[in-house]
Chain A
Amino acid sequence: MHGADGDHRPWTFYAFAAFFGLFVAFLYGPMIVIYILSFQGPQGGMTFPLNGVSLHWFYALVSQTRVGDIAGSFVRSIGLAALVAIITVALSVVAGLAFRRRFRGSVFAFYLAIASLIMPGLFVGLGIALTFRLLGLGTSWYTSGLGAQLTWTLPFGLLIMFAVLGRFNRSYEEAAIDLGATQWQKLNEVTLPILLPGIIGVALFGFTLSYDELARTALTAGSENTLPLEIWAMTTNVTSPTLYAVGAVTTIVSFAVIIVALSSIAAIERRRARSLTE
């Protein structure tokens, strides 16, 4: 039989692996262009040919002001993205749990989230700006900008929680209750740990969606730009391979973070396996 539990891998594994490999190559295709061109010489531009090879644009990233306020907007973007991720996780996880029961208004809540997902960011931004003006409030990236981005990430978070909770086996929770756990203990020690991968998924989505967000944030960020806004504004003037250097650096940093994260997960798993056998 074609058991997948033996050591022998079926031919489909290699077919799928090759397919996956092609997909990753496709994902990284433009990235490779970015990496190569980030080493562009000082005279070089955003397209081939490569006009000499240098680290010029990497230096420019930290030194020159020509590149706009990349450092400042980057810090703002990271901070905002982290904030959005945390709030999205907190609100979506709890709201997802709510949908496990039938309750009046669940359809309204659900479609409110869907509509928030669908509405073009441009209009959410415009609407918020007009609303804030009517209320006499000022806009800034950590108030109106934050709110605007949440209208984008919360529906995503909620829908992912649907996917995650749909797979959730309640018998674990019942077992906990049978063993005498309180609701709070049940939540903390059974539900959330099992949901953890999904929660991390929501956090990841929230972070990257916020980090990349342009349309909504454009009109709600106030007087200080986030990174996508800064980059976008720079394209109305000449941009330089510094943008590519940004891409290269972000990749290096993300890979570093991933390696650290994976090694720590591996270490935790090893420790857990060891403690189980002891």
Chain B
Amino acid sequence: MALVDQTVDGLAAGVMAPAESVAPDNSGERASWFQVAPLMVVLLLFFGLPMLVVLAVSFFDFDRTDIVPAFILDNYAELFRSEVTLRLYASSIKFALIVWAVTLVLGFNIAYFLVFHVRSLLWQIGLFLVCTVPFLTSNIIRMISWIPFLGRNGIFNQALEGAGITSQPLEFLLFSDFAVIVAYVHLFTLFMVVPIFNSMARIDKSLLEAARDAGAGRFRVVAEVVLPLSKSGIALGSIFVITLVMGDSFVVRTMSGGQSASVVSALQNEVAALQYPPAAASAVIMVIIVTLMVAGILRLVDVRKELAR
């Protein structure tokens, strides 16, 4: 154990050793400002500004047909008082955690396969692109196609009954929490694969050899060498998956047949009824909560630290 640790630490330190020849001075900082400026300008214009508007609206008052500029905290108060809020967040977070776990397992294994078992770069890229082809078909079309796939008379049930595994169609396959999770996994696993793939590809293969030579078994190599070195990829993938699930309303609505709720789908109901202020308040709270979740992930794995040395 100690030997493997030492080997890993030593080699990893070498790989990650800062060979900083640019002195950290003002010109470097200025250069960074110039480089990050275009991105910031776009984000500030199209996100920052609108968000200030949304924030302002969250304090407005409203009745059935009018939105009255004001500064009241009622919208937030109601949000915190209402039991529905709790249930919505519980539902969304539940989905987020389950999907995160499943995509993590799937994503890790797929990335591992592509990096360590597929030899040629061409095959790696090819297999990866094969996985991305379904994404070029609009989400909506793919959501619609789940019904003939998982429905009572759908292909999957018919296959099961045909093979004799079941005698009745499985109802829970569609319009249920199960269907929602399946759809999420279907849509978001790739978001987990890409960052982990990136992290794994940087692992020096000689590290693995060294670990094996030091006597570690296959699983230990993965657990103690590959896993820790893929941490940042896992963290980024997790950030993607969790924000995508928490921010979704379309998938949960369609796949559960409108029977499961998410924070954003409830938001959507309010916006459809032109009830902007409470919806805005809800959106602000949601952003704060999910940003905290992301910050939590980043506390565990400081992605930026690995970048800026």
Q: Touching in the complex, A and B, CB below 8 A?
A: yes
State the A residues within 8 Å of B (CB): 1-4, 9, 12-13, 16-17, 19-20, 23-24, 26-34, 37, 46-49, 87, 90-92, 94-95, 97-106, 109-124, 126-128, 130-131, 134, 147-148, 150-151, 154, 156, 158-160, 162-167, 169-171, 174, 177, 198, 201, 204-205, 208, 211-212, 214-215, 227-228, 231-232, 235, 239, 243-244, 246-247, 250-251, 253-255, 258, 261-262, 265-266, 269
Q: Is the CB of B38 within 8 A of A101?
A: no
> Whole-angstrom distance from the CB of B41 to the nearest CB of chain A?
9
Complex Cα distance, B54 from A95, in Å, reads: 27
Q: Is the CB of B113 within 8 A of A20?
A: yes
Q: Which of B121, B151, B268, B276 has a CB less than 8 Å from the CB of A47?
A: B151
> A17-B113, A94-B38 in contact; A117/B250 too (CB < 8 A)?
no
A24, A92, A177 interface centre (most CB from chain B within 10 Å): A24
CB neighbours (8 Å) of A228 from chain B are 138-140
Q: Is the CB of B21 within 8 A of A174?
A: yes
> What are 7 residue pairs bridging A and B, where the CB atoms are less than 8 Å apart in the complex?
A4-B117, A47-B154, A159-B239, A163-B198, A166-B202, A174-B19, A205-B194
CB neighbours (8 Å) of B33 from chain A are 98, 103, 105
CB neighbours (8 Å) of A105 from chain B are 33
Residue of A nearest to B263 (CB): A120
Tell me if B6 counts as interface (CB < 8 A to partner A): no
Q: Is the CB of B44 within 8 A of A91?
A: no
> Whole-angstrom distance from the CB of A26 to the nearest CB of chain B?
7
Q: Is the CB of B264 within 8 A of A115?
A: no
CB neighbours (8 Å) of B201 from chain A are 167
CB neighbours (8 Å) of A112 from chain B are 40, 43-44, 47-48
Contacts A126-B50, A177-B21 supplied; 17 other A-B pairs, CB < 8 Å: A30-B149, A34-B145, A37-B148, A90-B38, A98-B33, A98-B36, A105-B33, A126-B276, A128-B46, A128-B50, A154-B43, A166-B303, A167-B198, A167-B202, A204-B132, A228-B140, A253-B136
Give me the 4 closest cross-chain CB pairs, A-B, nearest first: A127-B50, A167-B202, A98-B35, A147-B46
Q: Is the CB of A231 within 8 A of B142?
A: no
Question: Looking at the complex, which of B68-76, B82-90, B286-294 is the stretch in contact with chain A?
Answer: B286-294
Tell me if B131 counts as interface (CB < 8 A to partner A): yes
Q: Is the CB of B308 within 8 A of A101?
A: yes
Q: Is the CB of B47 within 8 A of A116?
A: yes
> A13-B117, A31-B137, A164-B198 in contact; A148/B39 too (CB < 8 A)?
no
B window 67-109: CB within 8 A of A: 106, 109
Tell me if B133 counts as interface (CB < 8 A to partner A): yes
> Whole-angstrom distance from the CB of A29 to the nearest CB of chain B?
6
> A246-B137, A262-B125 in contact; A147/B199 too (CB < 8 A)?
no
Tell me if B1 counts as interface (CB < 8 A to partner A): no
Residue of A nearest to B30 (CB): A103
State the B residues within 8 Å of A (CB): 15, 18-22, 24, 28-29, 31-36, 38-40, 42-51, 53-54, 57, 106, 109-110, 112-114, 116-117, 121-122, 125-127, 129-142, 144-149, 151, 153-156, 158, 186, 189, 194-195, 198-199, 201-202, 209, 212-213, 218, 232-233, 236, 239-240, 243, 246-247, 249-250, 264, 267-268, 271, 276, 279-280, 283, 286-287, 290-291, 294, 303-304, 306-309
Q: Is the CB of B294 within 8 A of A48?
A: no
Q: Is the CB of A160 within 8 A of B24?
A: no
> Whole-angstrom distance from the CB of B230 to the nearest CB of chain A?
10
> Whole-angstrom distance from the CB of B59 to the nearest CB of chain A?
14
Residue of B nearest to A18 (CB): B113
Q: Is the CB of A27 within 8 A of B131?
A: yes
Complex Cα distance, B33 from A32, in Å, reads: 48
Residue of B nearest to A228 (CB): B138
Q: Is the CB of B140 within 8 A of A30?
A: no
Q: Is the CB of A2 within 8 A of B218?
A: yes
B126, B129, B144, B218 interface centre (most CB from chain A within 10 Å): B144
CB neighbours (8 Å) of A174 from chain B are 19, 21
CB neighbours (8 Å) of B145 from chain A are 30-31, 33-34, 37, 244, 247
CB neighbours (8 Å) of B43 from chain A are 112-113, 116, 150-151, 154
> Whole-angstrom distance from the CB of B270 to the nearest CB of chain A?
10
Q: Is the CB of B212 within 8 A of A1?
A: yes
> A158-B39, A163-B199 in contact; A254/B133 too (CB < 8 A)?
yes
Residue of B nearest to A156 (CB): B240
> Whole-angstrom distance from the CB of B263 to the nearest CB of chain A?
8
Complex Cα distance, B129 from A120, in Å, reads: 28
Complex Cα distance, B213 from A182, in Å, reads: 43
Q: Is the CB of B29 within 8 A of A104?
A: yes
> Whole-angstrom distance from the CB of B60 to the nearest CB of chain A?
12
Q: Which of B36, B49, B308 has a CB less than 8 Å from the CB of A109?
A: B36
Complex Cα distance, B264 from A2, in Å, reads: 50
Q: Is the CB of A159 within 8 A of B240?
A: yes
CB neighbours (8 Å) of B156 from chain A are 29
CB neighbours (8 Å) of A31 from chain B are 134, 137, 142, 145
A111, A123, A215 interface centre (most CB from chain B within 10 Å): A123
Q: Is the CB of A95 within 8 A of B36?
A: yes
Q: Which of A47, A201, A247, A261 has a CB less than 8 Å from the CB of B141?
A: A247
CB neighbours (8 Å) of A117 from chain B are 239, 243
